[in-house]
Structure 1
Amino acid sequence: MESISSNLAAVREQIAEACRKAGRSVDEVTLIAVSKTKSAAAVRKAWEAGQREFGESYVQEFLEKCEAPELSGLPVSWHFIGHLQSNKVRQIVDKVTMVHGIDKVSTAEELSKRAVQHGLNVDFLLEVNVSREGTKYGLGPDSVLQAAEECFALPNVRLRGLMTIASPDPDTARREFSELRETLDMIRNNAPEPAALSELSMGMSGDFEEAILEGATMIRIGTAIFGWR
């Protein structure tokens, strides 16, 4: 069995190759190691191999991992990438670098409320259901522009961009990644701070190369690093 360290090295080389094909700098793409369902010890191994950004999807598991002795004292940068319910926001607001899965303005409002209470400024992304699948979370592509407009006025939070989970077919996924990029461009046109809208969180173990070709700035990789769950 390959180690987490060697898996990370292989993924980073694939990222570098995809960036070369896209004519982009590798520094433009942040690798988020998706550690959901994996142990704190596995996160520690990835950390020791140089990984700093990690993604979690389940609130209770995330909270337990934050307090795990294996990670004590390590300045891990946590991204919450799963569907986030409004009533769970208060539990994670002071522990995350960024929230990726905001799919309702009401959840962004709750994030803002809790950030104000903690005296924090929290970055977040709006999740968009570009595949238009009924089983997926996310704002519809036609409603995200209005949602973004409402989010711009919220205090102590900053909309940084968009996130999506694409269709399993790579060719279809690439078209969806392109649509997400175009949607972000449209949002920038009406944004009070267009430069702040710099993030496209898209691409996972099976399609991150296509995502990089279409402008991904954050890719979320779990299986290719930690193995099957």
Structure 2
Amino acid sequence: MSLTEIRTRIQTACDEAGRDPATVTLIAVSKMQADERVREVLQEGQRVFGENRVQEAAGKWPGLREEFEAISLHIIGPLQSNKVRQAMDLAEAIHSVDRPKIAQTIARISDEIGRCPALFLQINTGEEPQKAGVLPGEADAFVAECRALSLPVAGLMCIPPVEEEAALHFALLAKIAARNGLDGLSMGMSGDFEKAIRFGATHVRVGSAIFGARD
């Protein structure tokens, strides 16, 4: 599927939801994609990209940023404490602030370097033991803790369980965000981004539908 088709589908989903398409940011998830394929998508005008692994992002994006202007990189995968500084140097946003320790590390480094990417707090809406993120019942306290650390909390992020109806999880994330006065909702991937838009997604993370199968 082409980037143009994805943009058209986002436009249609926004029209059906009575939303301005400008309120939805398409993040092209370029993890494990060859540089040449990423370059093709850049040449089509896409400028916002998501990477799961900091190490891969560090190897890929400095060179591409020399070729293309105005790239916005988002780290969307689990973040290890020893990779936080590198992630903050590379990225305009981090979508996987999933526990207090990472928030505290980001706050400390932010104080040292005098800046911080936009942050999305990951909520484990399915309460899956194998998945990162704070539990829904702990979300309000986590938002408050991050705000007390003066972190720029842009919104919340979730990855619904594959075997459950995603709409239930998008609705839950939207409810938690609303009661905490947060506008940003990072939710929806290749298979369900249109549904996420109906529930208020401001950032959709689309990989395979743009790039095809990974190398």
- Residue 56 (structure 1) aligned to one of 51, 75, 96: 51
User: Does residue 158 in structure 1 map to residue 152 in structure 2?
Assistant: yes
Contact 2:187-2:204 at 8 Å conserved across structures: yes
Q: Which amino acid aligns with 1:31?
A: L
Q: Is the 8 A contact 1:94 1:120 kept in 2?
A: no
Find the counterpart in structure 1 of residue 184 from structure 2: 199
Is 1:210 paired with 2:195?
yes
The aligned runs of 1:105-144 (5 Å cut-off) are 105-144=100-139
Q: How many residues align?
A: 213
Report if the CA contact (8 A) 1:123-1:160 is conserved. yes
Q: Deviations over 1:85-120 (max 9, x none)?
A: 112101121211100001111101111211222221
2:72 equivalent in structure 1: 77
In the TM superposition, 1:218-229 aligns within 5 A as 218-229=203-214
Write out per-residue CA displacement over residues 176-225 of structure 1, whole angstroms, 9 at most, x where no aligned residue. Answer: 1001000111212xxxxxxxx22100000001011001000000000000
Determine the structure 2 residue equivalent to 1:192.
none
CA contact (8 A) 1:29 1:218 kept: yes
Q: Distance in 2 between matches of 1:134 and 1:110?
A: 23
Q: Give the aligned partner of residue 30 of structure 2.
A: 35
Quote the Cα distance in structure 1 between the aligned partners of 2:152 and 2:10: 27
Contact 2:157 2:185 (8 Å CA) reproduced: yes
CA deviation map 1:142-165 (0-9, x unaligned): 00110111110224x301110001
Whether 1:177 and 2:177 are equivalent positions in the alignment is: no
* Structure 1 segments of 4+ aligned residues over 3 angstroms from their partners: none
Q: Which piece of structure 1 moves more, 42-51 or 95-104?
A: 42-51
Assess if the C-alpha contact under 8 Å between 2:119 and 2:155 holds in 1: yes
Partner SS, residue 162 of structure 2:
coil
Which string of whole-angstrom CA distances, capped at 9 and with x for unpartnered residues, describes residues 4-31 of structure 1? xxx1000011111111111111111000
Aligned 8 A contact 1:93 1:122 in 2: yes
What is the distance in 1 between the residues matched to 2:112 and 2:167?
A: 40
Q: Share of identical aligned residues, percent?
A: 40
CA distance in 1, matches of 2:208, 2:111: 36
1:18 and 1:209 in contact (8 A); partners too: yes
Match of 1:92 among 87, 95, 101: 87
TM-fit CA distance, 1:83: 0.5
1:187 maps onto 2:172 in alignment: no
Which amino acid in structure 2 is aligned with residue 180 of structure 1? L
**Where does the alignment leave 5 or more consecutive residues of structure 2 unmatched?**
none
